[in-house]
Amino acid sequence: MQIYLPIAEVSVNAFLLLGLGGMVGILSGMFGVGGGFLLTPLLFFIGIPPAVAVATEANQIVASSFSGVLAHLKRKTVDLKMGVVLLIGGLVGAALGVQVFNMLRAMGQVDLLVRLCYVVFLGIIGALMFVESLRTIRRSRHQSEGTPPPRRHHRGWIHAMPFKTRFRTSGLYLSVIPPLLVGLSVGVLAAIMGVGGGFIMVPAMIYLLGMPTKVVVGTSLFQIIFVTAFATLLHATTNFTVDMVLAVLLLIGGVIGAQVGARLGVKLKAEYLRILLATMVLAVCGKLATELLFQPVELFTLGAAGGH
């Protein structure tokens, strides 16, 4: 069934969109990732204009994060104070990101920027995840030799910073500058790449800020809701690129997929799941990279006239 998207102004198969949303939903349920970093490039591949894909994806992430954060609030695994500090950084970052996005759109380089960001981040994350899970599998096979690596505690330069405050839920006494900076960079990414940024924020919170793992996911979801909501509003008011119909279709698929994925995830082994995800991330990254590295068949592209 073809459906005409009023803002993207293209006609797409509705079941394809439901399917994509569902597939990414399954992945996000299985791995606990937002899935934005996979869904946005997939939307590029099926012909949604990148500007619309990025803005709409931000809107869709609001929905998936909201249902996630409800569960975490109930379990009291959200550090609200840390969340608010990250959020302040995030809002500034999102505002900056939308400005950069608009500037590059006028220059005709927005596709390049978005694609470059994806290639770099997907490449890094995919490779890290792949190596990490291979190591876990090897360790579980030779359990006698392997000892679990101890958590490192060298955060000297972070603890030397001023404006220290206590984050009770996380059990940390820390300067507000590092979380502000983490929030800022994630905000910029959210606006430019149309992702929640969880896949960058979660490692940053664990390894840079030293937050306990159990509060990390809830707190990052809490921050992501507000930052992506803000990015959606900015995109809607400055670029008019949020497509409600597209968002709703992806949302329906995503919500159902997430529940299916959560059940599938229990049955499969975590290491193999992660290798699977890493392979997918690297595949998407590779596809985007080849488009940048090899001569395209059509050298010319048409775009709406700039300056408005």
Partner 1 sequence: MRRLLLILALVLMPVTATGEEDVVAGLSQNEVSITANFNGSEILIFGAVQRFAPLPATGPMQVIVTIEGPDRPLTVRRKERRYGIWMNTESVEVDAAPTFYAVATTAPFEDVITHTEDLRHRISIPRAIRAVDTGIVRSEEFTEAVIRIRTAAGLYQMLEGAVTLRGETLFNTSIGLPANLTEGDYVVRIFLTRDLQVVASYQTDISVRKVGLERLIYTLAHERPLIYGLLSLAIAIAAGWGASAVFRYIRTGR
Give me the 17-36 binding string for partner 1, x by CB under 8 A, dash otherwise: --------------------
CB of 41 to partner 1, least distance (A): 17
Residue 281 half-sphere exposure, CB side, CA atoms within 13 Å?
26
103 in contact with partner 1 (CB under 8 A):
no
Q: Which residue from 9, 76, 135, 138 is in contact with partner 1, where contact means CB under 8 A?
A: 9
Q: In whole angstroms, what separates CA 103 from the centre of its chain?
A: 22
Q: How far is CA 93 from CA 49, 90, 158, 220, 254, in A?
A: 23, 5, 21, 15, 27
Specify the residue, 266 or 302, whose C-beta has the smaller distance to partner 1. Answer: 302
CB-CB contact of 303 with 105 (8 Å)? no
Of the pair 144, 301, the CB lying nearest partner 1 is at 301
Q: Does 67 bind partner 1 (CB under 8 A)?
A: yes
Q: Determine how β-strand 10-13 pairs with β-strand 164-167.
A: unpaired
3 is an interface residue for partner 1 by CB under 8 A: yes
Beta-bridge partner residues of 11: 4
**Residues in contact with 307: Cβ distance below 8 Å, sequence separation at least 6, in sequence order:** 106
Segment lying near partner 1 (by CB under 8 A), choices 123-131, 141-149, 278-286, 287-295: 287-295
The least distance separating partner 1 from the CB of residue 240, rounded to whole angstroms, comes to: 5
The CA-based angle 114-35-193, given to 5 degrees, is 15
Residue type present at position 183: G
- Kindly tell me which residue out of 94, 191, 201, 229 binds partner 1, with binding defined by CB under 8 A: 229
The CA R_g of the chain, rounded to the nearest whole Å, is: 20
255 binds partner 1, rule: CB under 8 A: yes
Helix (H, G, I), strand (E, B) or coil at 13: strand
What is the rounded distance in angstroms from the CA atom of residue 97 to the CA atom of residue 91? 10
**Least CB distance to partner 1 at residue 34 (A):** 12
DSSP 141-208: HTTTT--PPPPP---HHHHT-SSEEEETTTTEEEESHHHHHHHHHHHHHHHHH----HHHHHHIIIII
Among 45, 46, 103, 108, binds partner 1 (CB under 8 A): 108
**Does 62 engage in binding with partner 1 (CB under 8 A)?**
yes
Site for partner 1 in 114-143 (CB under 8 A): 116
Return the residue of 84, 181, 248, 264 that touches partner 1, per CB under 8 A. Answer: 248
Paired with 174 in beta bridges are: 165
16 touches partner 1 (CB under 8 A) = no
Q: Select from 7-15, 140-148, 154-162, 194-202 the region that touches partner 1 (CB under 8 A).
A: 7-15
Residue 219 is a binding residue for partner 1 (CB under 8 A) = no
Segment interacting with partner 1 (CB under 8 A) among 61-69, 157-165, 180-188, 206-214 = 61-69
Residues that bind partner 1 (CB under 8 A): 1-4, 6-7, 9-11, 59-60, 62-67, 70-71, 108-109, 111-112, 116, 229, 232-233, 235-237, 240, 242, 244-245, 247-248, 251-252, 255, 258-259, 291-296, 298-306
